[in-house]
C-alpha cells in the first residue's frame, strides 16, 4: 500500500476512529487502526460492539491495507507538521510514514487479521438533520443509566412512529424524553420502529454531526448505522425490554409554575457551590406565593437563593439531588419552562411552557427531613 493525503485530514480521521478502539485486547489487531487504500483512504476502528470508519480523499499510488497501532499512529500524526503525509506499507507489515523531513518506520499487522465489520443489511432507513440529531442526543443522554446491571437502560430508546422520532433515556432517578417531527416522510414499511442504541455509541454520533446536512440512520436486525457524509458509526442494538416510560409520567398535576429556565438554572448553580461535596446534600425548594426559595446545608456551610415566577402558589417544599436537576435545567431546549408538581413525594415534570411539547423531563424528589 502507498497513499498520500493531507495530515490534518488524516489526524481528524484517526482521532475519530480511535474512539472505537480498545487499548487492551486479546486480539492485537483490534488495538489498531485499519487503513485501506482503494479509490480513497478508509480509516477504521472497531471493538466488536462498535465501529467507526471514515473515508478521506487521498492520492492512492498502490492499493492495499495495513493495521497500525492506534496509540502510535495517533501520536505520530499529531506531531507531524502540516502538509502531505505519505504512508507506505510492505507485505511483511513494515510501514514507513513521511511528512516533510520527518520519517517513521514502524511495524504493522496484516489487514486480514482485522475482524470484519458488520455489513449494512436490508432494513429501515430514515433521515434527520445532523444538528437536530446532535441536539436530541445531548439533551437526553445524561439520563442514561451507567453500570446499572440493566444493559437496556444504559442506552437510549429510539421510537419512530407517525413521522415522529422520540429519544428516551432513564436511569431510575430521572427520565428524559425528546421528540421531533421528521422532515421527510417515512415509507409505509417504516411507520413504526423501536430500537435501543448504547449511550457510548451516541456520544460518537454527536461528535460526527455537524451544523448542516442530514444524518442517515439505517436500522438492521442486530445493528444500527449512523452515516454523516463520509463517516459511519455502526453499533450493536441493545436488547430490551426498555422501561414502559409513559407509565412513569403522572397524568395530572395540581400545580404548574411558569419560570425562566436560565434564571432557575443560575440559582441552582449558585447553591450547587455548597451542595457539591463528596456526598451531595439535598437541595430544597420552598415554593410559596411567587417565589422559590432555594436552600442547602452541608458540612461546608449553607446557601440560600430566591428565584421569582409569575403566580401565587400555596406553600410547598420539595427536595432534590441537585445533580439530577441541574442536568435537566442546563439541557432543556426552551427559554421558559413549566415546573409541574403535586406533593413533595411525587415526581416533578419539566416541559416547555409554550410551543410544541417536544421535550419532557421527570425528576424524582428526595425525602425531606421529618418525612422519614
pLDDT tens figures, 181-225: 987 656 555 567 899 999 999 999 999 999 999 999 999 999 999
What is the spatial distance between Cα 218 and Cα 162, in angstroms, rounded to a whole number? 18
Q: What is the pLDDT of residue 134?
A: 97
Alpha carbons 315 and 257: distance in angstroms, whole number:
13
Give kind and range of the element (H or E) at residue 259.
strand 255-260
**pLDDT score recorded for residue 125:** 87
> Does 280 score more than 50 pLDDT?
yes
**Nearest Cα residue to 17 out of 210, 236, 233:** 233
Nearest to 10 by CA among 41, 32, 52, 38: 41
Q: Could you tell me which residues come within 8 angstroms of residue 150 by beta carbon, excluding any fewer than 6 positions away? A: none
Under 8 Å between Cβ of 307 and 291: yes
Q: What pLDDT score does 185 carry?
A: 58
User: What is the average pLDDT value for the chain, to the nearest integer?
Assistant: 92
Task: Tell me what percent of the residues of the chain surpass a pLDDT of 90.
Answer: 76
Residue 22 CA to residue 32 CA, distance in Å, equals: 8
What is the mean predicted confidence (pLDDT) over 71-79? Answer: 96
Give dist(CA 303, CA 125) in Å, integer.
51
Backbone angles phi, psi at 282, to 5 degrees: -65, 145
| Cell 497513499 -> residue | 3
User: How much is the average pLDDT of 351-356?
Assistant: 92
pLDDT for 275: 81
Q: Do residues 16 and 52 lie in contact, with contact meaning Cβ atoms separated by under 8 Å?
A: yes
pLDDT (0 to 100) of residue 278: 62
Across 46-75, average pLDDT? 96
Q: How does residue 343 score in pLDDT terms, banded at 50, 70 and 90?
A: confident
pLDDT at 371: 42
Computed on alpha carbons and rounded to an integer, the radius of gyration of the chain in Å comes to 25
Residue matched to cell numbers 445493528:
223
pLDDT in tens, 218-271: 999 999 999 999 999 999 999 978 888 888 898 899 999 999 999 999 999 999
Percent of the chain exceeding pLDDT 70 equals 96
As a 3-state breakdown, the chain gives helix, strand, coil percent values, each rounded to 5, of 25, 45, 30
26 pLDDT above the threshold of 60: yes
Instruction: Tell me which residue of 318, 296, 306, 304 sits closest to 368, measured CA to CA.
Output: 318
In terms of Cβ atoms closer than 10 Å to its own Cβ (0-12, 13-18, 19+), residue 361 is: buried
pLDDT of residue 277: 67
pTM exceeding the 0.85 threshold for the entire prediction: yes
Q: What are phi and psi of 191, to 5 degrees?
A: -65, -25
pLDDT at 368 over 80: no
pLDDT classification of 359: cutoffs 50, 70, 90: very high
Residues contacting residue 69 through CB under 8 Å, at least 6 positions apart:
31, 32, 33, 106, 108
Amino acid at each position: 500500500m502507498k497513499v498520500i493525503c493531507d495530515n490534518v485530514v488524516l489526524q481528524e480521521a484517526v482521532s475519530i476512529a480511535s474512539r472505537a478502539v480498545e487499548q487492551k485486547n486479546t486480539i492485537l489487531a483490534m488495538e489498531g487502526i485499519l487503513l485501506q487504500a482503494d479509490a480513497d483512504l478508509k480509516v477504521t476502528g472497531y471493538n466488536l460492539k462498535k465501529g467507526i470508519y471514515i473515508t478521506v480523499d487521498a492520492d492512492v499510488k498502490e492499493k492495499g491495507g495495513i493495521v497500525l497501532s492506534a496509540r502510535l499512529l495517533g501520536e505520530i500524526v499529531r506531531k507531524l507538521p502540516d502538509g502531505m503525509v505519505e504512508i507506505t506499507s510492505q507485505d511483511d507489515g513494515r510501514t514507513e510514514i513521511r511528512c516533510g523531513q520527518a520519517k517513521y518506520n514502524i511495524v504493522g499487522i496484516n489487514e486480514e487479521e482485522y475482524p470484519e465489520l458488520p455489513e449494512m443489511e436490508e432494513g429501515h432507513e430514515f433521515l434527520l438533520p445532523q444538528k437536530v440529531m446532535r441536539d436530541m442526543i445531548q439533551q437526553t443522554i445524561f439520563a442514561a443509566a451507567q453500570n446499572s446491571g440493566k444493559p437496556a437502560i444504559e442506552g437510549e430508546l429510539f421510537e419512530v412512529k407517525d413521522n415522529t422520532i422520540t429519544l428516551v433515556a432513564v436511569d431510575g432517578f430521572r427520565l428524559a424524553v425528546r421528540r421531533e417531527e421528521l422532515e421527510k416522510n417515512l415509507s409505509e414499511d417504516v411507520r413504526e420502529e423501536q430500537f435501543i442504541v448504547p449511550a457510548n455509541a451516541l456520544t460518537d454520533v454527536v461528535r460526527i454531526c455537524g451544523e448542516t446536512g442530514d444524518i442517515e440512520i439505517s436500522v438492521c436486525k442486530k445493528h444500527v448505522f449512523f452515516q454523516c457524509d463520509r463517516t459511519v458509526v455502526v453499533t450493536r442494538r441493545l436488547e430490551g425490554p426498555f422501561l414502559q416510560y409513559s407509565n412513569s409520567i403522572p397524568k395530572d398535576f395540581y400545580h404548574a409554575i411558569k419560570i425562566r429556565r436560565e434564571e432557575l438554572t443560575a440559582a441552582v448553580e449558585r447553591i450547587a457551590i455548597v451542595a457539591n461535596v463528596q456526598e451531595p446534600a439535598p437541595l430544597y425548594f420552598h415554593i410559596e406565593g411567587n417565589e422559590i426559595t432555594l436552600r442547602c446545608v452541608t458540612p461546608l456551610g449553607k446557601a440560600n437563593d430566591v428565584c421569582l415566577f409569575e403566580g401565587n402558589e400555596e406553600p410547598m417544599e420539595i427536595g432534590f439531588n441537585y445533580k439530577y436537576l441541574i442536568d435537566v435545567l442546563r439541557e432543556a431546549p426552551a427559554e421558559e419552562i413549566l415546573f409541574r408538581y403535586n406533593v413533595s413525594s411525587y415526581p416533578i415534570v419539566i416541559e416547555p411552557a409554550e410551543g410544541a411539547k417536544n421535550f419532557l423531563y421527570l425528576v424524582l424528589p428526595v425525602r425531606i427531613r421529618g418525612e422519614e
